[in-house]
Amino acid sequence: MPQDNHFSDEERRGVYRAIYERRDVRSHFLPDRVPDDVLHRILDAAHHAPSVGFMQPWDFLVIRDAEIRRSVHRNFECASRRAAEAYRDEQRKLYDSLKLAGILEAPINLCVTCDHARLKGGGLGRQTDPAVALYSTVCAVQNLWLAARAESLGVGWVSILDLEQLKTTLGVPAELTLVAYLCIGYVSEFRPHPDLEEKGWETRSDLASVTHFDRWGVHHSGEQDRK
C-alpha cells in the first residue's frame, strides 16, 4: 500500500482515543464558555461528514439562549415522565435515578436537522432508500461528537423529547426532520465507562456475537480457518 497518506502512531492513537473515550454526557457539564473558534471547528467537522450524492442535507441550530433551553427542558421533563410509565419496580427505580439530559447545565445546545427536499446532490443514491439523507445527517453528528472529544468537550444526545413541540419552540420549518438534539460543553470528567453501563442499566455485548462472516449466523471467519 502507498505510504504518503499514512497516519503517525500518535495521530492514529488520537482517532481511537476519540472513539473509545467519547461519552454520552449528561451529568458532568461545566458552565465554562465554549470559545467561538472551538465551536466553529466542531461544526466544520460535522459539515465534512459524508453525504449521499454530496447532498449535505443538514442544518445546525446553535442554542445558547437560556429561555429557549428552559422551554426545551420542560419538554424533556414531560416526555421523560411519560416514558417512565413503561417501567416497573426495580427498573422504574433505576430509570428515576438516571440523569438523562444536561439541557440547562451545558452552555450550548445544538439541534441538527435533515432537509429531505434539498436540491443538492440531484437525488443521486437516494432512489433505493430515502432514509440515506437521514443517515448522512447522523454521520455529521458523529463527526462532531468525535471532534468534540478531541477538544475535551462533552456531548450528550437527548432523544426523550416531543419532537413536534421542539420544532415549534425552535422555529424549525415543519417539512424538516429533527434528527438530533445535543448538549455540548466542557466537563468535570469523562467517565471510564458509559453511564448506563456504570449504573447497571445495560451491559456491552460481545463484538463476536454481532459479527458474521459471508453468511448470516456464521460467527467464525473462514479466513481464520485456513490459517
Site for a copy of itself in 30-89 (CB under 8 A): 30, 32, 36, 40-41, 43-45, 47-50, 52-56, 58-65, 68, 79, 82-83, 86-87
12: which residues sit within 8 A by CB, 6+ positions away? none
Shortest approach of a copy of itself to residue 211 CB, angstroms?
5
156, containing H or E segment: strand 153-157
Contact characters 149-178, a copy of itself, x per CB under 8 A: xxxx----x-xxxxx------xxxx-----
Of the candidates 33, 39, 81, the one whose C-alpha atom is nearest the C-alpha of residue 60 is 39
CB of 78 closer than 8 Å to CB of 162: yes
Shortest approach of a copy of itself to residue 79 CB, angstroms?
5
Map the footprint of a copy of itself across residues 110-139, applying CB under 8 A. Answer: 120-129, 131-132, 134-135, 138-139
Under rule CB under 8 A, residue 214 binds a copy of itself: yes
Shortest approach of a copy of itself to residue 48 CB, angstroms?
6
Map the footprint of a copy of itself across residues 190-209, applying CB under 8 A. Answer: 190, 194, 196-197, 201-205, 207
Under rule CB under 8 A, residue 104 binds a copy of itself: no
Under rule CB under 8 A, residue 18 binds a copy of itself: yes
Look up residue 174 and give its three cell numbers.
415543519
Of the candidates 139, 143, 129, 121, the one whose C-alpha atom is nearest the C-alpha of residue 52 is 121
Using CB under 8 A, count the residues that bind a copy of itself. 118
Under rule CB under 8 A, residue 221 binds a copy of itself: yes
Dist CA 19 CA 210 (whole Å): 19
Distance set, CA 100 to CA 71, 112, 159, 183 (Å): 16, 19, 9, 11
